[in-house]
Structure 1
Amino acid sequence: MTRTQLAAEIGIRGLTMALLGLFVALSVHQFMRDTSRITLLVFAFAEVLTVGLAMFSRVPRERDWKPLSLVVTICATFYFLAFSIEPGVRLVPEALAAGIQVAGVLLQIYAKWSLRRSFGLLPANRGVVVVGPYRVIRHPMYLGYLVTDIGFLAANFGVRNLAIVLVQWALQAVRIVKEEQLLSKDATYRDYMSRVCYRLIRGVF
């Protein structure tokens, strides 16, 4: 990396940890006001898992620093800061919503375990991984994020939160496409794409 890129890397990681810490503190504060809202704790844990572990990811061989990719990544990563964590409408019982979240978190853990340190925030080539859940779909970690978001929304529903989820997943779709544009420069990944056809949900996308 150039000095500018290194400085940007350090700055982004430092800001990320600060914002994540703020969100966790706010979530715990809300939970202490109503200890039945376990979806808040699960969601905070999921974000620590997602963002926190990315801070220790392997430095990639190639990364997409284009403005569009940078903006999409920042918005899709820090979307949780825009959520209303005040009590919302419970569409399903809290325990069921938390169960959905846990299923999403477990899928994330499985995907991250398969990747080891080959994951991060910006689209990058950290090595091609084709084992574990990656044998079924190309982006199982993102599917885990989606399931976790659905669980949180089910117990904390509101127009604002719904809008955030919809916008966030439009951005995630762009993020996935940009990631694959970079990775498809690698012949190993092109071969992988020919064998595993779907990115996120089999038969849909």
Structure 2
Amino acid sequence: MDSKDYVDRSLERALSQATPRALSRTQWREMAVEVSVRLCCALLLSIFAYAAILQWRVAPERLTVLLLALASSLTVGLSLFARIPEKRDWRPLSIVLSVGGTFYFLAIELAPGIRLIPEQVGASLCCAGILWQLFAKASLRRSFGILPANRGIVTRGAYRLVRHPIYLGYFITDIGFLSTNFGWRNLLVYAGLFALQIGRLLREERLLSQDPGYRGYQAIVRYRIIPGVF
């Protein structure tokens, strides 16, 4: 083997070894960002859950406070174990809508408010909303997250009825809590939440509509959240 062949083969071997390391470093950076975001979400959830449990321990009859902590834990907790999607919407507005619509509970007034309906009725609504969320999320399996993303088209279970059944579960739970813990601060928080959720939903559909499979699904399941209404 002459010196030129030796140099050429050495360069070829060096390049083939460098590429995997470069890809590996990129993957490690992405993994570090993903883990950091999920740990931050878990910390915020833990702070809120602790505050909610303290309020409930002071007044154990306030089941809606405990159920709100449970519902929030389901929303954020499941997203911590969601699979990483191939395509995600990282635009600033989508991030604001998603983060605001998910972590709205940090702005809720947990102290006792005005009871527009009995606590038991509000708790029943919260339970119904949580059970529906569980059914919808079980239909999704691990195709669940905070940012709008295409994690695969799901048409089974609750998704046979409406295109965004989890949002319906959120709405029922939120009405149950707000009706038994009413106040101007909570009213403003939930009004903002509903606006954020609608914007989040529409941007999610815009992303998913790029998939021909989802466009076919839209033709079959016409309504987004409430059959016959929206």
Of 137, 156, 178, which residue of structure 2 is paired with 1:112?
A: 137
Query: In the alignment, which residue of structure 1 is the partner of 2:19?
Result: none
Q: CA RMSD in A?
A: 1.3
Structure 2 equivalent of residue 174 of structure 1: 199
Q: CA deviation at 1:10?
A: 2.1
Looking at structure 2, the residues matched to 156 and 200 of structure 1 have their Cα atoms a distance apart, in angstroms, of 24
**Structure 2 CA distance for aligned equivalents of residues 96 and 188 of structure 1:** 40
Residues 1:154 and 2:179 aligned together: yes
Q: Which runs of structure 2 are paired with 1:22-171 in the superposition (5 Å)?
A: 22-171=47-196
Instruction: Work out whether 1:196 is the aligned partner of 2:212.
Output: no
CA distance in 2, matches of 1:117, 1:180: 19
- Matched with 1:13 is 38
Q: Using the alignment, how far apart are the partners of 1:115 and 1:188 within structure 2? A: 16
The gaps in structure 1 that reach 5 residues or longer are none
Cα gap change, 1:133 to 1:119, in 2 (>3 Å)? same
1:8: Cα distance to partner?
3.3
Per-residue deviation, 1:202: 1.8
Distance in 2, matches of 1:7 and 1:183, equals 27
Q: CA deviation at 1:107?
A: 0.5
Instruction: Give identity over the alignment, percent.
Output: 50
The separation in 2 between residues aligned to 1:88 and 1:6, in whole angstroms, is: 43
User: 1: distance between equivalents of 2:188 and 2:29?
Assistant: 35
TM-fit CA distance, 1:36: 0.8
Residues of 2 paired with 1:86 and 1:198: CA distance?
36
Alpha-carbon distance in structure 2 between the residues aligned to 1:4 and 1:180:
29
Instruction: State the shift of 1:61 in Å.
Output: 1.5
Structure 1 pair 152–107 and aligned structure 2 pair: CA distance change class (3 A): same
Deviation at 1:95, TM superposition (A): 0.8
What is aligned with 2:7?
none
Partner residue, 2:14: none
CA-CA distance at 1:3 after TM superposition? 5.9
Larger radius of gyration: 2
Higher relative contact order (CA 8 A, sep 6+): 1
| TM-score (norm: length of structure 2) | 0.86
Where 1:65 maps in the other structure, the secondary structure is coil
Offset at residue 4 of structure 1 (A): 5.6
Question: How many positions carry a matched residue from both structures?
Answer: 205
| CA deviation profile, 1:84-138 (whole Å, cap 9, x unmatched) | 0000001111111000000000100000110100111000011110011111110
